[in-house]
Amino acid sequence: MKNLSSKLISHLTNVTKIHPNSCQLAVVSKIQEFISDFSKPRLLTLKKNSKNGLYIHGSVGVGKSVIIKALKKIYPQSEILHFNDLIFKLQSRSEKNLIYLKNIKRKKLILIDEFFINNLTSFILFRKFVEEIKFNNTKIIMNGNKSLETVYNDLVNPKLCEKIKNELKAFFLIFKVKSRNDYRAGKAIDHDFFLIKKKKKIIKQNYIVSEFSSERSSKQIEFKRKGNSFKLTKVYGNLIDLEFDDFFEKNLEFQDYNLIAKKIKIFVLRNIKQIDESKKNILARFISFIDVLYENKNILSISSNVGLDELYIGNTNSSEFKRTISRLKEMGTNKYINKNLTTD
């Protein structure tokens, strides 16, 4: 694709409203180099060091996801999906998902956002997907927070885990974003929506419910997808009022949160509790929940007696939770709230 880097920079600047820094420009340059290489006639790219994928990793908030999403907008014959969604589709044997997977393998480029492994089954499924991709001459650009060496360690099957890592390292050209600066950091939080260690949080969140809901009385809504159905109460049309403990004790996952986020615009989440190592299921659900709301540009109001940076005091998945906190900080800004309140 001609002038890809200039088109990508233009989209980031004029549409996404991010002025790329030197590290982000380096990512754009590497993407240009990778795509230019696989766009050449196949005979010219049959060399030992040619790669089928590009893996971009680094600290949270350096713009990896933003660049991937911008690339989807300007590059034809590409498909983007969140890694959790890919794993769900690989696990499902429904006809709809099988057709979807078959179709995306025909694309020139697959973009995968937020590579994250927390079990060996997902690692094996992804390895099989990568093996199948090789035969179609489809390329992958993927981003994540961890290096492939540290993305997952399995105590029961360490040799298999290391084998998969080595296969992925052979498949992907690896590029590390060296910046540690979070572009979301330092933005002013709207304390009418993000009530952290604030008095009168009940009154203020009650006001949000009454002011922004499209219906005055609450209803119970049933949500259905293949493989799961569940009911949620306190739905006021475009708004839902949630209690942290009750909501995250429910056995919901990424696809369920996505189902809710497509139907409801505004989420009022009350009394977020501090999470420790004993609550790994709640941690994983909360990470997926925030990812979904961020991707769908939903509005969120939260209340907690614990500061954002103190919400999780464990070590497991701590790097993924840093992404969650970074995204929360952006979702709590006046700019984000005002922009997305007026967006259908």
Domain ranges across the chain: 4-177, 194-341
CATH architecture type of domain 4-177: 3-Layer(aba) Sandwich (3.40)
Q: Going edge to edge, which strands form the sheet with 299-304?
A: 194-196, 299-304, 266-272, 239-243, 228-235, 219-225
Do 137 and 168 meet the contact criterion of CB atoms below 8 Å apart? no
pLDDT, position 183: 72
Helix (H, G, I), strand (E, B) or coil at 243: strand
CA–CA separation, 211 vs 237, rounded Å?
A: 12
pLDDT, position 77: 87
Same fold, 4-177 and 194-341: yes
Identify the burial level of 106 via C-beta atoms within 10 angstroms of its C-beta, where 0-12 means exposed, 13-18 middle and 19 or more buried: exposed
Q: Provide the pairing of β-strand 228-235 with 219-225.
A: antiparallel
pLDDT, position 213: 95
CA–CA separation, 234 vs 313, rounded Å?
A: 30
pLDDT, position 1: 67
In order along its 344 residues, the chain shows pLDDT tens digits of: 678 999 999 999 999 888 888 999 999 999 999 998 776 655 544 555 578 999 999 988 888 999 999 999 999 889 999 999 999 999 988 888 899 999 998 899 999 999 999 899 999 999 999 999 888 888 999 999 999 999 999 889 999 999 999 999 999 999 999 887 777 766 777 788 999 998 899 999 999 999 999 999 999 999 998 889 999 999 999 999 999 999 999 999 999 999 999 999 999 999 999 999 889 899 999 999 999 999 999 999 999 999 998 999 988 878 889 999 999 999 999 989 998 987 55
CB atoms within 10 A of CB 269: 22
Nearest CA to 7 out of 31, 39, 34 is that of 31
The CATH number of 194-341 is which of 3.30.920, 3.40.50, 1.10.8, 2.30.30? 3.40.50
Task: Tell me the backbone φ, ψ of residue 26, rounded to 5 degrees.
Answer: -65, -40
The residues, any chain, with a CB within 8 Å of residue 194's CB and separated by 6 or more, are 301, 302, 328, 332
Q: The pTM is what?
A: 0.83
User: Does residue 227 come out as left (phi exceeding 0), alpha (psi in the -120 to 50 range) or beta?
Assistant: left
Task: Tell me the backbone φ, ψ of residue 105, rounded to 5 degrees.
Answer: -70, -10
CB atoms within 10 A of CB 321: 20
Do 229 and 223 meet the contact criterion of CB atoms below 8 Å apart? yes
Nearest CA to 18 out of 190, 176, 140, 182 is that of 182
